[in-house]
Chains A and B, each alone.
Chain A
């Protein structure tokens, strides 16, 4: 194919290639021809060749040999060649390449060219890939261009200034005066650029923020003009005049009004006006309203305005457009902690959204519903949530189950209802619940004295049905404890089942022998069988034989238990009744909930009975045994104290970091809008690692770890790994890089999302590894308390 053929031809040929191999072949031939052409000094079709090369680059093939050609084309006097050259510069070059330095001079010349289109090309490229040195060189030029009378150039120059401010924050002062004057322009493009520039300046520098607060009345005036003006053909989008500019101005107002009463007061009227006058039937109007709501929520607005905002969100919820519903739920989630009552009014609609076919909408509705559960509406909400659980997508099930548990824990109207709910969840989603639910449920059952017979009847049925492991474990435990109640077959609340001792033992034996039972479940079943030996009268021999079979089991745990139970039968038969007595009520904060193995229990108790065979010590040991039983599934970190979420109950938690967590939760109650403090967690060898909480939600925290380096050499291969307690979920986002430049020239950041639905104390261990001046370092840091956050 001849090299001066145009781009269209080549695209046509590439698209007609039927296989990847064919396409690669075509592209390789093209690239070879282009390379040959580039080597020739003078060529008419240079711009076409570069255009073709850019297309090839877009498809993902290497195109670095075009960089010098870009530089040459930029320097050419013809506009079409300049155009392609600049485009190539934007796509192929960035500040890391050496060739980018060569175009600095061309850009400088072009910025003062007589033709505005050439100037605009240079501005565009500088804004896209200007390095810090280039920005420093050319900043005065940009400032001059900001004051010209040509609005086409001014709008582009404003955005170029944004890029410069981002790259070299010290140059911000240079543009402040120009930014002020730009606000009085009529041209919307220039206004837009000016607003973006001011936003960037305010975000970079708090003093500019104070300075720009004076601009609030002017912004309010511009917005009023936009909102009240009639139909303007230039900027009309679906009936709203220039929604893009409106959204931008609202965002700037939000930044200016945050934490500042005077600025917020000035905006109140305007916000009310925008909220009432904007037509929300099309997306453009909804976009403006959405931004208004976010602004109202963030500044210090009066309560009437906040109610208006929540009502707008409620209206969005009823909208047919799915996008709008999703947006409104995301915003409601942010405000549900502060304006709880206002959001409660829309509870019905939110609960309906649980049935929406879209997965993201469902997820948001679930989180919101869990946040809205309160003592008043617990029964109806729970009905809806349980219905949702049976039909929800699998990825949401674990979250829904744990949410339901914590809600039930907090607001259960009666114990029987509580037990019913937990059983229901275990039957529908038993595979997805966390391990702590079993000891929690057991503890709950022991506290509910009147309900023992009711519970055991229900659980016996569940045991026979054998749906999920957790359910089977709880059922075994109950049958073991309260087997006599089951056999007496008297129960007020539910249909008594006529069971004989053989039936019960059959059921337990099935569990013991079933392939699906996990070792933990078998342990439960074995202990239950043992306990029944004191509760039933006829089949003690059968129990003995079952237990002795397991004396030679391969599983060490089971074998040890079986051997010890056998010993109970043989040598210590007189104590068997006392040992296997009904357990006392388990205290949620008992110190037995720490590392302890099941096997330690019987050994301990045997030693102690030899010393003091009194009944009191026996009951104490059975408490130990009980708590050790429960330790089957708790790890050392997360004892069952994790579920209650109120600050005062967390104080009873025996872990050492209870007080910072208590304070943290108190702070959560009053959502204060202070800037997020950062906590330095590691400082060694010149490397400083700082932790900052960005966002705190009801069930988790989003934090950023930033690292900086104060030594004289670069630090490479910087890597962070994090670990959290078992019931907290950790999600690490990609780090911004892995090289820390010397002398704190730059920072590395990595965002981490922690999901904490059970509200355990948040702790994290971070391992830092890096290579500094030729040596590899590795360190571990434990973070026990997290700083509180601002609402965003």
Chain B
């Protein structure tokens, strides 16, 4: 199952974090520092899977944003890699411009896609449907 998901910019500041397994605040901070340091220091030719403690980290870089997912040992890394790409495509479709000012909406999208560490839905239109309904309700 997926243990956590982080979105980080190039300077290492966290833009989004979602944990599917409860970790204390203090330990969370050190975990984030370790994970970010590990992934940001990798060069372009290195592969996207890193082993860290008892998680496997799958990370992907999109322009200045890094998306990092920590999964348990028995997950298929390539599938998680694809999931990350799917997630970013959905974000792209919904937010035409810069994402990070609408954090609650990103959380809504993420909750539609991943529930308690497992994938729920991967179809873009179905994920965005409730969000579009919400928007219509808010406008009216």
Contact = CB atoms under 8 A, between A and B. Distances in A.
Contacts of A129: 22
Contacts of A84: 104
A411 interface: no
B14 interface: yes
Nearest to A64: B25
Contacts of A54: 103
Interface in B100-140: 100-104, 107-108, 111, 115-116, 118-123, 126, 130, 133-134, 137-138
B88 interface: no
Contacts of B126: 189
Categorize the interface residue count of chain A: 35 or more
A251 interface: yes
A286 B35 CA distance: 26
A241 B108 CA distance: 25
B47 A8 contact: no
A14 B116 CA distance: 30
B116 A128 contact: yes
B86 interface: yes
Contact of A55 (B22, B48, B83, B103): B103
A15 to B, nearest CB: 8
Contacts of A251: 76
Contacts of B49: 323, 326-327, 360
B94 interface: no
Interface stretch (A156-164, A173-181, A451-459, A493-501): A156-164
Counting chain B CB atoms within 10 Å of each CB, the highest count among A120, A234, A323, A324 belongs to A323
A782 B21 CA distance: 34
A79 B137 contact: yes
Nearest to B45: A357
A135 interface: no
Interface string B21-45: 0100100110000000000000001
Given A94-B22, A159-B118, A87 B81 contact: no
A244 B50 contact: no
Contacts of B14: 58-59
A517 B62 CA distance: 53
Nearest to B19: A91
Nearest to A247: B79
A245 B123 CA distance: 12
B120 A156 contact: yes
A234 B79 CA distance: 18
Given A79-B137, A251-B76, A124 B81 contact: no
Contacts of A156: 115, 120
A713 interface: no
Given A124-B111, A159-B118, A323-B47, A244 B103 contact: no
A361 interface: yes
A368 B29 CA distance: 36
A253 interface: no
B29 A60 contact: yes
A117 B53 CA distance: 38
Contact of B104 (A87, A127, A244, A751): A87
B101 A12 contact: yes
A322 B50 CA distance: 13
Question: Number of contact residues on B: which range applies?
Answer: 35 or more
Given A94-B22, A290-B76, A357-B45, 19 more contacts: A7-B102, A7-B104, A60-B25, A79-B137, A83-B108, A117-B130, A117-B134, A189-B126, A192-B120, A196-B118, A284-B78, A287-B76, A290-B78, A322-B45, A327-B78, A358-B47, A359-B46, A361-B47, A733-B53
A244 B47 contact: no
A150 interface: no
Given A189-B120, A733-B54, A159 B101 contact: no
B71 to A, nearest CB: 13
A94 B83 CA distance: 27
B78 A358 contact: no
30 contacts: A7-B101, A11-B101, A60-B25, A60-B28, A87-B107, A117-B134, A124-B111, A128-B116, A129-B22, A155-B121, A156-B115, A159-B115, A188-B123, A189-B121, A192-B120, A237-B86, A242-B122, A244-B82, A247-B79, A284-B78, A286-B78, A287-B78, A287-B79, A326-B47, A327-B49, A357-B45, A358-B46, A359-B46, A360-B46, A361-B47
Interface string A99-133: 00000000000000000010010001001110000
B-side binding surface: helix, strand, loop or mixed?
mixed
A321 to B, nearest CB: 8
Interface of B: 14, 16-17, 20, 22, 25, 28-29, 45-51, 53-54, 76-79, 81-83, 86, 100-104, 107-108, 111, 115-116, 118-123, 126, 130, 133-134, 137-138
Contacts of A189: 120-121, 123, 126
Nearest to A285: B78
Contact of B120 (A12, A159, A242, A322): A159
Q: Interface centre among B14, B49, B115, by most A CB within 10 Å? A: B115
B131 to A, nearest CB: 10
A196 B114 CA distance: 13
A79 B25 CA distance: 29
B82 A284 contact: yes
Contact of A291 (B46, B76, B100, B104): B76
Contact of B54 (A162, A192, A244, A751): A751
Contacts of B118: 159, 162, 193, 196
Interface string A535-555: 000000000000000000000
Q: Which 6 A-B pairs have the closest CB atoms?
A: A287-B78, A8-B101, A127-B116, A322-B47, A159-B115, A94-B22
B82 A62 contact: no
Interface of A: 7-8, 11-12, 51, 54-55, 58-60, 62, 79-80, 83-84, 87, 94-96, 117, 120, 124, 127-129, 155-156, 159-160, 162-163, 188-189, 192-193, 196, 234-235, 237, 242-244, 247-248, 251, 283-284, 286-287, 290-291, 294, 322-327, 357-361, 733-734, 751
B123 A192 contact: no
Nearest to A356: B45
Contact of B82 (A83, A95, A237): A237
Nearest to B126: A189
Contacts of B134: 79, 117
A174 to B, nearest CB: 18
Contact of B20 (A128, A290, A294, A360): A128
B104 to A, nearest CB: 6
A51 B101 CA distance: 12
B60 to A, nearest CB: 10
A62 B134 CA distance: 30
Contacts of B103: 7, 11, 51, 54-55
A648 B16 CA distance: 57
B84 to A, nearest CB: 11
Contacts of B79: 243-244, 247, 287, 291
A248 B49 CA distance: 20
A11 B100 contact: yes
B115 A247 contact: no
Contacts of B104: 7, 51, 83-84, 87
A323 B46 CA distance: 8
Contacts of B137: 79
A8 B100 CA distance: 9
A207 B45 CA distance: 47
A447 B78 CA distance: 52
Nearest to A7: B103
B82 A360 contact: no
Nearest to B101: A8
B53 A734 contact: yes
Contacts of B50: 360
B107 A124 contact: no
